[in-house]
Each structure stands twice: as structure tokens, then as C-alpha cells.
Amino acid sequence: MGECIFCRIADGKIPAAKVYEDDSTISFLDIMPANKGHCLVVPKKHYETLLDIPDEDLKNLITVTKKVVKALSLSIGNGSYNLVMNNGKEAGQLVAHAHIHIIPRFKSDRLRIKWSHKKYTDKEMKDVQEKIKKFV
Ligand code: AMP
Ligand code: ZN
């Protein structure tokens, strides 16, 4: 995966403002932050989306996410944040190497992560529920 920017950061081939690193996971500042302190948490191995990540690496990824959230909150004295993971082009994933965004939130920061709401009929909701349950 020579072209992948996050693989190159994980390999130390290009620089990043790292805040944490261990054998399987790395975290660094997003270069174009939604808010100052915006961090990315990235598995070192190249997995494209959530479903590609083996459970063991996923456990490490979420554990490191929690660790970085804690450090970020302590460092900026603020406990509000969004976790965002874009999976796939339609979801806005630009870098095809799985990653979790930690975005610290501030009063009146005017960031828009919330969506407009659609509606179900009762039947639609039941149908969707039943379809999903078949595959779980
Ligand atoms: P996504 O849309 O979820 O794929 O987000 C990719 C994120 O990676 C964006 O927020 C970019 O600002 C960030 N990004 C891209 N290249 C770098 C880099 N070299 N160092 C840090 N962050 C980066
Ligand atoms: Zn990669």
C-alpha cells in the first residue's frame, strides 16, 4: 500500500503530529481540523473500512480512541466531543485507510455534524427492522 498516506505515516515515512503510538495503533492531529485538537486514530495495518478490521485490532483501536479522548479532554479542559468514522465514498471517506475522528466540541463552535431527520411509516420501520435482524 505504498500510495496510502496513513500507511506512510504509520511507517514513519512521512511526518505527522503524533500524540500516541503503540504496536498496532497510531494517533495524530488531523492536518485540516474541524476544531483545534481534532485527532485521528488509525490502525497501523492497512484496512479500508470498519468491516475489514479484525476484532483484535478493532479492540485496540477503540481502546486507544478512549485513551486519546481522555488526554484530549484533560489537555483542553473540555469533555464534549464527537467520534466520527466515515466508511465508504458515499459516507465521505476520503482516505481509504480506516480511521476514527475525535473532534472536540466547544460552545458555539458552529460545526455541523447533525443531520436533518427523515420519517418512517410504521410499516417501513418494521420492515427495515426485520430485514436487519435477519443478518445479525
Ligand atoms: P475522511 O474523510 O474520514 O477520509 O478523513 C480524512 C482526514 O484525513 C481528513 O480530515 C484530512 O484532513 C486528514 N488528513 C489527510 N492527510 C493527512 C495528513 N497527512 N496528516 C493528517 N491528517 C490528514
Ligand atoms: Zn493504508
Q: What CA–CA distance (Å, rounded) separates 47 from 54?
A: 9
At 29-66, the pLDDT tens digits run 999 999 999 999 999 999 999 999 999 999 999 999 99
Tell me, yes or no, if 99 is annotated catalytic.
yes
50-58, Cβ contacts within 8 angstroms, sequence gap of 24 or more: 50/85, 50/87, 50/98, 51/87, 52/98, 53/98, 57/24, 57/25
At 78, is the pLDDT very low, low, confident or very high (cuts 50, 70, 90)? Answer: confident
pTM, two decimal places: 0.96
What are the sequence ranges of the domains in the chain? 5-133
pLDDT value, residue 57: 97
At 84-128, the pLDDT tens digits run 999 999 999 999 999 999 999 999 999 998 899 999 999 999 999
Q: Which ligand is nearest to the CA of 91?
A: 1
5 CA distance to ligand 2 centroid (A)?
A: 6
116 CA distance to ligand 1 centroid (A)?
A: 25
Listed in sequence order, the residues at least 6 apart from 131 whose beta carbon sits closer than 8 Å to its beta carbon are none
pLDDT value, residue 2: 62
Q: Does domain 5-133 have CATH number 1.10.3720.10?
A: no
At 130, is the pLDDT very low, low, confident or very high (cuts 50, 70, 90)? Answer: very high
Look at ligand 1, atom 12, and give the residue with the nearest C-alpha: 32
Atom of ligand 1 nearest to the CA of 95: 4
At 1, is the pLDDT very low, low, confident or very high (cuts 50, 70, 90)? Answer: low
Q: What CA–CA distance (Å, rounded) separates 28 from 93?
A: 17
Q: Are 38 and 130 in contact (CB under 8 A)?
A: no
- The pLDDT of 68-80, averaged and rounded, is 94
pLDDT value, residue 4: 98
What residues flank ligand 1, with Cβ below 6 Å?
Answer: 5, 16, 28, 30-32, 40, 86, 92-95
Q: Which ligand is nearest to the CA of 28?
A: 1
Q: What CA–CA distance (Å, rounded) separates 11 from 15?
A: 10
